[in-house]
Amino acid sequence: MIQHNAPHRVVIVGGGFGGLNAAQRFRKCRHLQVTLVDRRNFHLFQPLLYQVATGALSPANIAAPLRAVLRHQRNAEVLLAEVANIDLAGRKLLFHGGHPKPLSFDTLIVAAGSTFNYFGHDHWQHIAPGLKSVEDALSIRTRVLKSFEAAELETDPERRQQLMTFVIVGGGPTGVELAGAIAEVAFRTLKQEFRHINTADTRIVLVEATPTILGMFPADLREKALEQLTRFGVEVRAGVMVTEIEPERVVIRTSDHQHETVRAATILWTAGVKASPLAEILARESGVELDRTGRIPVEADCSLKGHPSVFAIGDIASYTQDGKPLPALAPVAMQQGRYVAQLVCHRVSGSRLPSLFHYRDKGTMATIGRSAAVADLGWIKLSGFLAWITWLVVHILFLVQFQNRVMVMFQWAFSYFTRGRAARLITGEGSAQERR
């Protein structure tokens, strides 16, 4: 048993799925003092960000203030700060301006998440934004809606078509869901709202470099998803590589090495992620090499090699199970967060340690649009309406606050029966990159 004159201090960096689940699991370990550090004051339910980007939900529907979530947990506090450096030898965090004092820790859990990976073309991010923050979602919403407004005023047919063409780069769940949502906006929600354009002329192109979309799904569900996307009016281009992105222009290389230019006013990026820059700091401090996606390898208990009291979980960590790294998914982060909290509690109290971490895959799902989705739950595969209902229920249950669940259920019911989207506001909000 570890003895302390003061409570054992646990510091968690990141209030996402992994960090928040870890913090909440510590509520029964009253002999610990938990500090949750995040540069934002809220937990964001990222799987529904695309619905904010397409006007189905408002940011408040999918975000919960961290202090409100942890208000009844007396051994937990929230610190609004951005980590600048991690001193593993000195066991302290250093912050960017606004918090001058370093923060000491006995146990550190880094759950800083990820950002989009442009595979060496970072200059593309200003032209083709990703979808990781509320600001990004609001910026995309504005881009999408402004494109239709500009097309309404445009008299040149070619320019009008360019304004009504949308390219989404990346055929994973986020890309598929975003493409389907934009299709719903164009072909259903806005159908009778304009007088000089026909929104049925909208072109939505989903580009994927691998031979198929939703590569993590079984082949039959991939085919079902493709069928549903096509029915929704999305043009799926799989097996083609994006070679160049310029303002309102995407160049793709087809399987026969031909180059094709797609002119589109709106280009969105969903083609992969890389770990938070904090992974590089951990790698430098611990002497561990990052993997090819910038994630830091961890031991079987999610700790850093040579640092048993420092843990990395979620998207920032590379955890190998059954010979393969676990995917950067919310359920992985949530399970790792709960496991590490349990491990630390047992370690500090001197009780029997839990077995090594093992991820339980409860399934994967993606929605295409109204009454259309695919779900692989392991024991059963679903597509169409049943998969869509399953997707709705699971996402409502995973929302952190009860009031968010109620608001999202109401908004979804409104959208289902009216085919409307209540949050179609064009605001002055821009992405973080645009404001810099």
Active site residues: 177
Rounded distance, CA 54 to CA 232, Å?
15
152 Cβ contact partners less than 8 Å away, ≥ 6 residues apart: 194, 195, 196, 197
Rounded distance, CA 421 to CA 412, Å?
9
Type of residue found at 199: T
Give yes or no for a contact between 68 and 44, defined as CB atoms under 8 angstroms apart: no
Rounded distance, CA 86 to CA 317, Å?
16
Give yes or no for a contact between 86 and 278, defined as CB atoms under 8 angstroms apart: yes
Residue 375: name the closest of 225, 231, 272 by CA.
225
Rounded distance, CA 251 to CA 244, Å?
5
Rounded distance, CA 345 to CA 31, Å?
9
Partnered with residue 366 across adjacent β-strands are 374
Rounded distance, CA 424 to CA 436, Å?
25
Rounded distance, CA 330 to CA 222, Å?
21
Give yes or no for a contact between 148 and 141, defined as CB atoms under 8 angstroms apart: no
Structure tokens at 96: 């960017």
Residue 314 DSSP SS3: helix
| Parallel/antiparallel/unpaired status of strands 107-110 and 307-312 | parallel
Rounded distance, CA 242 to CA 262, Å?
10
Strand order in the sheet with 76-80: 76-80, 32-38, 8-13, 107-110, 307-312, 303-304
Rounded distance, CA 19 to CA 112, Å?
8
Structure tokens at 359: 């991820």
Type of residue found at 370: R
